[in-house]
Amino acid sequence: MNILLCNGKGGTGKTTLTVLLAHALAEAGKKVAVLDRDPQGTATKWLNGCESKKVTLYDHTSKHDAVFIDTPPRLDTLKAALASCSVAVIVCSPSPADIWTTRDTVEAIRPHLPGKARLRILFNGVLTNTVLARELPDIAKRIGVKAFSTTISRRQCYQHAALLGWQALDLAAREEMFKAALEIVTE
């Protein structure tokens, strides 16, 4: 299955979550690849520098259980990738100020998704026990797209992961990634 992560805005955590969610699923025993559609090539550089080779860069000659697709903030170049995906995940900050950008993203990508594909929001950078964290279901409702019940917290180890890989993640972070990956493949 192809899982595409997107947002019309940069810096929301698309690349970080592409690589870490792919590792979570690989740690759970699946054969997982990353397809880097961002010309900046950050996910490619990250995976090339990874000690663990559990997640590979996409190669069309190999079979995978899941392919995570990282994308640039430019949505107009993604039509083909959208047409082949089973799940489109909008990686979104928990900020009410980003509701409009995310709505624009939804409008831009929805027409290109296959009828059977699921479209979901994944909130990233959430500070637990804050008023904003409690408002996330309302924000999702305003955007008009179902959000995964798992949200990704703001954690320093996610920044360290760019250098240290999956090993940088503490237990709580790993658990969060496993839960999110499971929701993505099943719900």
Phi, psi of 4 (to 5 degrees): -105, 130
Name the one range near Mg ion by CB under 5 A: 13-21, 122-130, 131-139, 176-184: 13-21
15 near Mg ion, rule: CB under 5 A: yes
DSSP code at position 149: S
Which of residues 84, 130, 149, 159 is near ligand ADP by CB under 6 A?
159
Kindly indicate which of the ranges 76-84, 108-116, 150-158, 174-182 contains the residues binding ligand ADP, using the contact rule CB under 6 A: 150-158
Nearer to ligand ADP, 2 or 15 (CB): 15
Q: Which stretch binds ligand ADP (CB under 6 A): 5-13, 25-33, 44-52, 133-141?
A: 5-13
Contact 121, 146 (CB under 8 A): yes
The size of the interface with ligand ADP (CB under 6 A), counted in residues, is: 15
For residue 165, state whether it binds ligand ADP (rule: CB under 6 A): no
Closer CB to Mg ion, 15 or 102, in the complex: 15
Q: Strand, helix or coil at 71? A: coil
Cα angle: 51, vertex 36, 144; to 5 degrees = 120
- The answer to the question of residue 150 lying near ligand ADP (CB under 6 A) is no
Neighbours of 126 (CB within 10 A): 17
Contact pattern for ligand ADP over residues 32 through 71, marking x by CB under 6 A: ----------------------------------------
Could you say whether residue 14 binds ligand ADP (CB under 6 A)?
Answer: yes
Exposure pattern of 4-34 as b/e (b: 16+ CB <10 Å)? bbbbbbeebbbbbbbbbbbbbbbbeebebbb
Question: How many alpha carbons lie under 13 Å from residue 54 in its C-beta half-sphere?
Answer: 16
Encoded one letter per residue, x for contact with ligand ADP by CB under 6 A and - for no contact, window 113-132 reads -----------xx-------
Strand segments, DSSP code E, in 61-133 are 66-70, 87-92, 118-126
* Interface contacts to ligand ADP, rule CB under 6 A: 10-16, 124-125, 152, 154-155, 158-159, 162
